[in-house]
Structure 1
Amino acid sequence: MPIKKVAKHNYQITASLGFDPITGKHRRKRISNIRTKAEAEQIYTDLKNRYKNNDFPTSTNIAFSELSKMYFTDYTFNQKPTYVNTQEGYSKNHLVPFFKNTNITKISPTEVRAFQKDLIDKGTLSNNSINKHLILLKKIFDVAIEKKYITSNPCINIKKLKVEKKKMKFWTLEQFKIFIDATREAYEETKDAHPENFVFIIYYYTQYLTGLRAGESTALLWEDNDYTKQEFDINKTESRIHGKHVTTAPKTKAGIRRVTYNKKYKELLLEWEKIQKELLASYGISVDSKTHIFQYNDKIPDRDNFSTKKINKLCTRTNLTPIRLHDFRHSHVALLINNKEELTAIKERMGHASITTTIDTYGHLFPNKQKSMSDNIDNLF
């Protein structure tokens, strides 16, 4: 009998829950210390309904490290390689070392909070980065729920850490001119021995005057350039993952776009094309439509060639406070806003999926209209 009276006010239930799909063993659940038969019957009915709806965890011993591998093997195939690479780093460097081979059924919100505190105490990650680690952890445990290994996600109700919005860094046109003059000066000093250094002049001009993402720039081929229309066809982005170059579609569908450039930049690009042909010829390479625009040796250009480290080195020639490579993109938007360009035009040029992104990211750079609004109210009286 599934319900058994074992003492005066003590009923016991032994419910059969079928076979474990992994171990093949018969599953049973036993509950004791039930005070009345009616209560026992209700609990038994609930158990059978949960079994019918397949709402029980699989009785198995799966380690967190194994669950993490399962997530990256079966649940990331439709995500961008760069994103997956970053997520794998989170798991390899922090998640797996902390949870190791702990049985996933033993990991509760208490252990998750301990993990969050451990990341905080280490002091090497920002609050935003720690939050991203917790998001990944939740996704991994979602796999366990889908496969009926567990019935609840231990990451639920774990509060995110407060993230303070950092002040955006960018260079004004005057500051960029100081930087690019220093870059050209460095080129002039070394051009006889290193004519390839001209690439830094054209690359940083490109970043400041077009606002392209770094991966979009290094992915540019000459076939993506139209001198007549003075524009680039942005249709891909390039990253380096595990030592290999990976080309994918832009960050969003809106990232597929055409970005125009000015006449003076065109003249500079034509100058670089001539220099590039001579450079690559020394490597036995002929420049054609499939050649990367910023290639200057026998290797595919990489954003690391133009990284923040290089910018910092060039800034030692000036009194400028260095900015990151990505901040050139911010600088371009600041330039457009200062030039009173339309918000929708900026959104399209930057390849944002939504104008909300443009406003949230750059809204504070627009002139404050509060004073003029208040002054206009005076005209009503």
Structure 2
Amino acid sequence: MTECRYTTYLQYRKSLSTTIYAFSVPILPNLDMKRKDGYDMSITKRIHNGKPQYRYQVGYTDLFGNYKRKSSKWYDSKKECKKAESEFRTNLFLQKTGYTFEEIAENYIEYTGKYNTQQTINEKRSELKNHLSALLNDQIDDITAAKIKLVMDQECIQKLSTSRKNRILGLINSIFKHGQIFYGLKYNPCDQIPRYRKTSEEKMKKMNIYTPKEFNAFLEHIPATRKIYKDLFYVLYWTGMRLNEANSLTFNDIQVNKINLYRQWKDGTWAPLKTDGSVRKIPIDHDIYMVFEQLKKYYQDYPGFSEDWFCFGGYKQLSYTSIERAKDEAVEASGLHYIRIHDFRHSHASNLIEAGVNMYKISKRLGHSSISITMDRYGHLIDEDGDEILSAIKNKK
């Protein structure tokens, strides 16, 4: 496959002012561009053997950013010359990349490989082989939204979970975007295809929620020697924080009535949170505040203690493996149904909805970038019978 001219997206963007002219914007004949003598600017005239002849000249940039100039042969009439120029410009706009879907896909996997683990690379290749084989030999320019729908409607794909189907669709979309950025592909049919939506059954199956009573039973089976894990799970359940958010907290982030979330500890350094919406202040009650006060009192006896220490772990945050192990052992000892760490967050949202808290406030507390995300994930937990609405309109007078 031809080596891609651009090694980074930034390099592509810098050259966009020239390359976009060739393959992203229709280059159509402009018949209104006249010279003072009345002739079109792209058309030149000569007298040959006593008769007028005409030719056109068009400057353009090819798919790989090379500037070229087309000078046509001489035509005996201006009308014939204009028609030829129009056809050339149209063909220039409609020119194809010449690559198959498989070739662009392989180049995409190779290009993104430096950012992916080997497991992710293997998973992408597996999806291409097992689910997208019907697209591999097709010219990528000729693939339509209808063709992709036929592929996605295959029984082998339809029986997969909604998340898995969306990952496959996302892979197709990424391959087409890669073709647009680096190989002049003009059309991405995935822009017309909506994502799959989870059914209520899938959402409930994914969320293994603990009620407050079940959660207290879970905590009772964490031994006193692992109190720090008990405190972590307590904070996760009653604040709805993500695990990495809670495990990145320092004592400087804790105030009497709120937690300040604005960063996370990742790969040995401080990094921004998941989204702008994740930056937030989480109101807490006295019980949660006292958990942090007791932890600080415990660590204050350690030499070199600082308010910059992690609330959960001290000088070094807790290992995520040990957190998972402590949770699994407590679940097994309690005899409760299995739950993931992230399900403490879902349980918190469920408790708030059950208490009738406004969905907008729940969205802000959880750090979602928009309320639509909150509704999509937890809307099925809302009372569908509309009892609150009926109660609100009961007294009409």
- TM-score bracket for the superposition, by shorter chain length: 0.5 to 0.7
Report the CA distance between 1:138 and its aligned residue.
1.4
Distance in 2 of aligned mates of 1:338 and 1:252: 27
Tell me the equivalent position of 1:4: none
Q: Is the 8 A contact 1:221 1:292 kept in 2?
A: yes
TM-score by length of 1: 0.65
Equivalence map 1:296-307=2 (5 Å):
299-307=316-324
Give 2:209's aligned amino acid.
Answer: F
Matched, 1:351 2:367: yes
Report the CA distance between 1:130 and its aligned residue.
2.9
- Match for residue 161 of structure 2 among 117, 121, 126: 126
Q: Is the 8 A contact 2:180 2:187 kept in 1?
A: yes
Distance in 2 of aligned mates of 1:56 and 1:179: 64
Task: List alignment gaps of at least 5 residues for structure 2.
Answer: 1-57, 71-79
Q: Is the 8 A contact 2:124 2:171 kept in 1?
A: no
Equivalence map 1:180-191=2 (5 Å):
180-183=219-222, 187-188=223-224, 191=225
Distance in 1 of aligned mates of 2:242 and 2:269: 15
Query: Aligned in 2, Cα 1:338/1:70: closer, same or farther, shift over 3 Å?
Result: same
Matched, 1:64 2:102: no
Equivalence map 1:204-353=2 (5 Å):
204-226=233-255, 229-239=256-266, 244-245=267-268, 247-278=270-301, 281=302, 286-295=304-313, 299-307=316-324, 309-353=325-369
Cα displacement string for residues 216-250 of structure 1 (whole angstroms, at most 9, x for unaligned residues) = 11111121112xx33211102345xxxx3464322
Query: Aligned in 2, Cα 1:257/1:162: closer, same or farther, shift over 3 Å?
Result: closer
Distance in 1 of aligned mates of 2:83 and 2:199: 48
Task: List alignment gaps of at least 5 residues for structure 1.
Answer: 1-15, 29-39, 74-83, 192-196
Query: Aligned in 2, Cα 1:236/1:173: closer, same or farther, shift over 3 Å?
Result: same
TM-score by length of 2: 0.63
CA RMSD of aligned residues (A): 4.4
**Count, aligned residues:** 318
Report the CA distance between 1:153 and its aligned residue.
4.1
Tell me the equivalent position of 1:49: 89
Distance in 1 of aligned mates of 2:138 and 2:63: 18
Q: Is the 8 A contact 1:219 1:237 kept in 2?
A: yes
Q: Is the 8 A contact 1:236 1:250 kept in 2?
A: yes
SS in 2 for 1:317: helix
Distance in 1 of aligned mates of 2:375 and 2:158: 34
Distance in 2 of aligned mates of 1:379 and 1:21: 69
SS in 1 for 2:333: coil
Cα displacement string for residues 153-193 of structure 1 (whole angstroms, at most 9, x for unaligned residues) = 4757778666434213311111111111111xxx23xx3xx
SS in 2 for 1:259: strand
Deviates more, 1:323-332 or 1:158-167: 158-167
Give 1:176's aligned amino acid.
Answer: F
Q: Is the 8 A contact 1:23 1:60 kept in 2?
A: no
Cα displacement string for residues 266-322 of structure 1 (whole angstroms, at most 9, x for unaligned residues) = 3232222233455xx4xxx622122121125x6433444323x54232112213112
Distance in 2 of aligned mates of 1:174 and 1:137: 45
Q: Is the 8 A contact 1:109 1:155 kept in 2?
A: no
Distance in 1 of aligned mates of 2:140 and 2:372: 42
Distance in 2 of aligned mates of 1:313 and 1:122: 36
Q: Is the 8 A contact 1:198 1:272 kept in 2?
A: no
Tell me the equivalent position of 1:363: 379
Between the two proteins, what is the percent identity of the paired residues?
20
Report the CA distance between 1:69 and its aligned residue.
3.6
Report the CA distance between 1:211 and its aligned residue.
0.8
Distance in 2 of aligned mates of 1:363 and 1:147: 40
Report the CA distance between 1:257 and its aligned residue.
1.2
Equivalence map 1:83-232=2 (5 Å):
90-95=120-125, 98=128, 105=139, 109=143, 120=156, 126-153=161-188, 163-165=198-200, 166-167=203-204, 168-183=207-222, 187-188=223-224, 191=225, 197-226=226-255, 229-232=256-259
